[in-house]
Amino acid sequence: KKSSGHVPYQESPTRARNKAIAHYSKELGKRTMGMSGADIAKVINEAIIHAAKAKKNVIDWDDLNFALDYTSLGPMKRMKIISDEQKRIVAYHETGHALVAYLLPCATNPTKVSIVPRGNSMLGFSQSVPEEEKKLFSKQEMIDHMHVLIAGRVAERIKFKSITTGASDDLERLTRSARDLVMRYGMDEQFGSMVVLSEHQYSDETLHSIDKQVQTVIATIEREVEALLHKHLASFEAIATLLFEK
């Protein structure tokens, strides 16, 4: 029997999957953008397993939320040993990402932030889910996304006056995005609509100018993120403290 906010699973796996998809279609649609049918089926199956382990007769959003995180981020590693010092660093790092994503108008709003270790290497995460699947992005959307990427590194420096290796993946993505803005999409004011299709087509002087402009874009974004976090320092501290203590 179906009750409000819950989906019975003790019928057959197929009917339970179909009812879960129908009942939570809006929320699932947002969280599963880009997933294949097989990936979504795996999410529903994990939700059924999670509900069964909890000895529940219905699938609710908690089960689906657990399944979405499990399939996309990996299993939680609650027994993973991490010192309080490192836990605090992760808390402030992830708070930086989430707060900047929330504050910037063209960034995707954060839906979840956690410092529970997952998978083999992930010590925490800040998750943002777009309202709709997009193929085209404006210049400001790209720039705001780059602000979010570097916010974890900047947050570490503001709080601890030092930086760690935790931002390595963020910085790789940031550098690719900055180079794409300058070289691929013709969105840079200095180079205008010029697109660099192959670096072999240009002189060393031009390539050096491109590298300098990429560095300028990243440095400007870094300064703006630092100013933004200082402006909202009270919220920054409050969220990071809550994450650490939770």
Task: With beta carbons less than 8 A apart as the criterion, state whether 115 and 88 touch.
Answer: no
Of 77, 167, 69, nearest in space to 119 by CA: 77
Q: What's the per-residue H, E or C state across 141-185? A: HHHHHHHHHHHHHHHHHHHHCCCCHHHHHHHHHHHHHHHHHHHHC
Nearest Cα residue to 229 out of 30, 95, 81: 95
Of 11, 46, 94, 222, which one is the catalytic site residue?
Answer: 94
Q: Yes or no: say if 104 and 148 are a contact pair by the CB < 8 Å rule.
A: yes
CA distance 147 to 167: 13
User: Is 141 one of the catalytic residues?
Assistant: no
β pairing state of 7-8 and 58-59? antiparallel
CB 133 within 8 A of CB 65: no
- Cβ atoms 91, 36 nearer than 8 A: no
Rounded distance between C-alpha atoms, residue 226 and residue 152, angstroms: 10
Instruction: Give the catalytic positions in this structure.
Output: 94
